[in-house]
C-alpha cells in the first residue's frame, strides 16, 4: 500500500482514498464512493436503494460515472468522468490533517445544469481550495438527471410496474443519509451539515427546505441562483411524460417498457422534449421536481411564505445579469426576447385567470431605466431567479436567519462579452478555482481583484458553514440578516457593500402573488 493511501470504514464497507497535491501541500480525497445501489434494470425510475455491502477495500481514488445526459453544443461541459448508469456516488474532500472525530463542519454540494446536465466530478468543483485551510469537509454528490431523475411516470403505474416520483430528490436525500451515518469517519460533524448548490442544485436545496423527509439532514443551506418556482404539478409532469413516450413511439399503456429502453434512445428522446418545452411554454423546464403530495407536499416558495420551511439558516441570492448567459448560448431555456416574454404572460393569464399579473405600467416603471434589449434580460432574470429568491427569503426569514446577496462582480472578459455577472459566473469564486486550465475568466486580466473577491466569498461561505453567520475577512462589512424592516442585501462586487431594499422596484411590480405561476 502506498503511503499516501487512506482507508476509511463506512457503513457499507471500507474505501481507500488518496492524497492529492494542493499549493505545495496535500489534501485527502475519496472519490466515487457508492451511496446507493446502481439504478439500473428494475431500479430505473425507482427510489434509490441501499448498496450491497462489501468487505474488500473499495478503490476510491477515481470519480464514479457521471449520470447519463444529452450533449448540447451550446452548453459544453467537462464532466470529469465518463457517463454511466451506475452514477449514484459521492466524493469527500478533507485537509491532510483531518482525522476521524475532528467534528469539522461539512459542506455538501449539489451541482447545477437545468436538471439535465452536470456532475460532481466537474473540474470546477475540485474541493482542494475549499478544504485546504482545514476548516471544513466537503462532499460533492451525483444525482440522477433528466428523464432518469425528474420524469414523473406515476400516472402510468400498473399492476405490472410501479414508477416513483422525484427520484432525483430522493437520490440527494439518500446521499444526505450517507453523510449523516458516515461523515464522522472522515472527520466531519454530521450535526453541522450545510447543503449548498447552484442553479438546479440550488433548486433542490430550496425544494428540500419544504420536504418533511429532509428534516434533520442539514443544519444550514446556501442557494445560489435557485429557480425556486420551477416546481410543477402532476398535470404538467404528465404532459411531459406523455411527450417523451410519444418521441419513443410508445403508447401510455407501454410505459412499463421504459425500463428496457437503451440509454442512448432515452437521452435522444428526452433531449427533444427538453428543447421543445421552453419553446412551447416560455419560462418552463421539462424535467423538474414535482409536487407529488408525498415527498413534496406543496410548492417550496408557498411553504416558505406560510412559514413551514425547515428552520435552518439560509444564504440565498442571485447574480446581477443571470439571463445574459442564456442569450450568449442562444438557449431557449429563458424567455429573453420581448416575444417570448409576451407569450409567457399570455399563457400564465390563460392558465390562471384569477392571478393578478403586473400591468404594463408597473413593468414599465420597474424597468424604466433599461434599454429595450436590456429590459427583456432584466425581466427574464427577475422572473426566473431574482424574485423567486426574494419571495422565498421573505417567507423563510420568519423561521430562521436569511442572508440575501447579489453577485455583481464581472471580470474584464465577461464585460467585453456583454454577459457581466451572468448565471453561474460566481462558481469559480465560491470554489476558489479561478484561472483553472479551462477557465477563461481571467484571459483579459483582473486576476488580483478577482482573487480578492473569491477570498471574501469563500470566507463568508466557510464561516456560515462553521458558525451559521457569514462573516467576511477582517475589515469587511458585517452582513446582517434579511428582515422586512430594512431588507438587507450584500452586494458582492469589487468590494462588499450592504444595501437596503435593492429590489424595491421589482418587488413592487411583481408583488407576491406570482409565486405559483411557474
Q: Is the dihedral of CA 254, 258, 262, 263 positive or negative?
A: positive
Spatial separation of the C-alpha atoms in residues 175 and 159, rounded to whole Å? 30
C-alpha cell at 363: 413593468
Strand partners, 500: 488
State the distance between the two ends of the chain, measured CA to CA, in whole angstroms: 54
Give yes or no: 322 in active site: yes
**Those residues with Cβ within 8 angstroms of residue 456's Cβ, 6 or more apart along the chain or in another chain:** 472, 473, 476, 492, 496
DSSP code for 137: E
Spatial separation of the C-alpha atoms in residues 268 and 273, rounded to whole Å? 9
Q: Got the DSSP string for 259-289?
A: GGS-HHHHHHHHHHHHHHHHHHSTT--SS--
**Cβ atoms within 10 Å, residue 363:** 18
For strands 220-224 and 402-407, give the pairing: unpaired
Give yes or no: 467 in active site: no
Backbone angles phi, psi at 307, to 5 degrees: 65, 40
Q: Got the DSSP string for 442-502?
A: TTTS-HHHHHHHHHHHHHHHHHHHHHSS---STTSPP-PPP-TTT-EEEEESSSEEEEE-T
Backbone angles phi, psi at 515, to 5 degrees: -60, -20
Catalytic residue among 199, 331, 378, 454: 199
Give yes or no: 423 in active site: yes
CA 28, 65, 22: angle at the middle one, nearest 5?
Answer: 25
231, HSE (Cβ side, Cα atoms, 13 Å): 33
Q: Got the DSSP string for 284-299?
A: --SS--B--SSS--S-
CA dihedral of residues 394, 396, 400, 406 (deg, nearest 10): -60
**Cβ atoms within 10 Å, residue 114:** 23
Catalytic residue among 423, 426, 454, 488: 423
In residues, how long is the chain?
Answer: 518
Catalytic residue among 198, 322, 394, 426: 322
Spatial separation of the C-alpha atoms in residues 135 and 466, rounded to whole Å? 8
Residue 235 to residues 153, 216, 241, 409, Cα–Cα distance (Å): 11, 31, 10, 40
What residues act catalytically? 199, 322, 423
Amino acid at each position: 500500500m502506498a503511503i499516501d493511501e487512506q482507508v476509511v470504514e463506512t457503513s457499507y464497507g471500507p474505501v481507500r482514498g488518496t492524497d492529492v497535491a494542493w499549493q505545495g501541500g496535500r489534501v485527502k480525497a475519496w472519490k466515487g464512493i457508492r451511496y446507493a445501489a446502481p439504478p439500473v434494470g428494475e431500479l430505473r425510475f425507482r427510489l434509490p436503494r441501499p448498496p450491497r455491502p462489501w468487505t474488500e477495500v473499495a478503490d476510491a481514488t477515481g470519480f464514479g460515472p457521471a449520470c447519463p445526459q444529452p450533449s448540447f453544443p451550446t452548453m459544453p461541459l467537462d464532466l470529469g468522468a465518463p457517463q454511466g448508469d451506475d452514477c449514484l456516488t459521492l466524493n469527500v474532500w478533507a485537509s491532510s490533517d483531518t482525522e476521524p472525530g475532528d467534528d469539522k463542519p461539512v459542506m455538501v454540494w449539489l451541482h447545477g445544469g437545468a436538471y439535465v446536465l452536470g456532475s460532481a466530478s466537474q473540474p470546477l468543483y475540485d474541493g482542494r481550495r475549499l478544504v485546504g485551510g482545514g476548516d471544513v469537509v466537503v462532499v460533492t454528490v451525483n444525482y440522477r438527471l433528466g428523464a432518469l431523475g425528474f420524469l414523473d411516470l406515476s400516472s402510468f403505474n400498473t399492476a405490472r410496474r410501479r414508477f416513483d416520483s422525484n427520484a432525483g430528490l430522493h437520490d440527494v436525500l439518500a446521499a444526505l443519509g450517507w453523510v449523516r451515518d458516515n461523515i464522522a469517519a472522515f472527520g466531519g460533524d454530521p450535526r453541522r451539515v450545510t447543503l449548498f448548490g447552484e442553479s438546479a442544485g440550488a433548486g433542490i436545496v430550496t425544494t428540500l427546505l419544504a420536504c418533511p423527509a429532509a428534516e434533520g439532514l442539514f443544519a444550514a443551506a446556501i442557494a445560489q441562483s435557485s429557480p425556486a418556482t420551477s416546481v410543477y404539478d402532476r398535470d404538467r409532469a404528465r404532459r411531459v411524460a406523455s411527450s417523451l413516450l410519444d418521441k419513443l413511439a410508445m403508447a401510455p399503456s407501454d410505459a412499463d417498457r421504459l425500463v428496457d429502453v437503451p440509454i442512448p434512445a432515452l437521452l435522444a428522446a428526452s433531449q427533444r422534449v427538453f428543447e421543445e418545452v421552453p419553446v412551447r411554454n416560455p419560462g418552463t423546464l421539462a424535467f423538474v421536481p414535482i409536487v407529488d403530495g408525498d415527498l413534496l407536499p406543496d410548492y417550496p416558495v408557498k411553504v416558505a411564505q406560510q412559514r413551514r420551511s425547515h428552520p435552518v439558516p439560509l444564504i440565498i441570492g442571485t447574480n446581477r445579469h443571470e439571463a445574459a448567459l442564456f442569450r450568449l448560448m442562444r438557449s431557449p431555456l429563458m424567455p429573453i426576447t420581448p416575444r417570448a416574454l409576451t407569450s409567457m404572460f399570455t399563457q400564465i393569464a390563460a392558465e390562471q385567470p384569477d392571478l393578478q399579473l403586473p400591468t404594463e405600467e408597473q413593468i414599465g416603471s420597474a424597468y424604466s431605466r433599461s434599454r429595450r434589449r436590456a429590459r427583456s434580460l432584466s425581466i427574464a432574470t427577475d422572473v426566473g431567479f431574482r424574485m423567486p429568491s426574494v419571495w422565498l427569503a421573505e417567507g423563510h426569514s420568519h423561521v430562521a436567519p436569511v442572508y440575501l446577496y447579489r453577485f455583481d462582480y464581472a471580470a474584464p472578459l465577461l464585460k467585453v462579452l456583454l454577459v457581466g455577472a451572468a448565471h453561474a459566473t460566481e462558481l469559480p469564486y465560491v470554489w476558489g478555482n479561478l484561472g483553472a486550465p479551462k477557465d477563461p475568466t481571467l484571459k483579459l486580466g483582473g486576476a488580483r481583484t478577482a482573487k480578492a473577491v473569491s477570498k471574501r466569498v469563500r470566507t463568508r461561505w466557510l464561516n456560515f458553514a462553521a458558525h451559521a453567520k457569514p462573516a467576511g475577512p477582517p475589515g469587511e462589512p458585517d452582513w446582517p440578516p434579511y428582515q422586512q424592516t430594512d431588507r438587507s442585501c450584500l452586494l458582492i462586487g469589487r468590494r462588499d457593500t450592504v444595501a437596503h431594499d435593492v429590489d424595491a422596484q421589482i418587488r413592487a411590480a411583481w408583488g407576491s402573488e406570482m409565486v405559483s405561476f411557474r
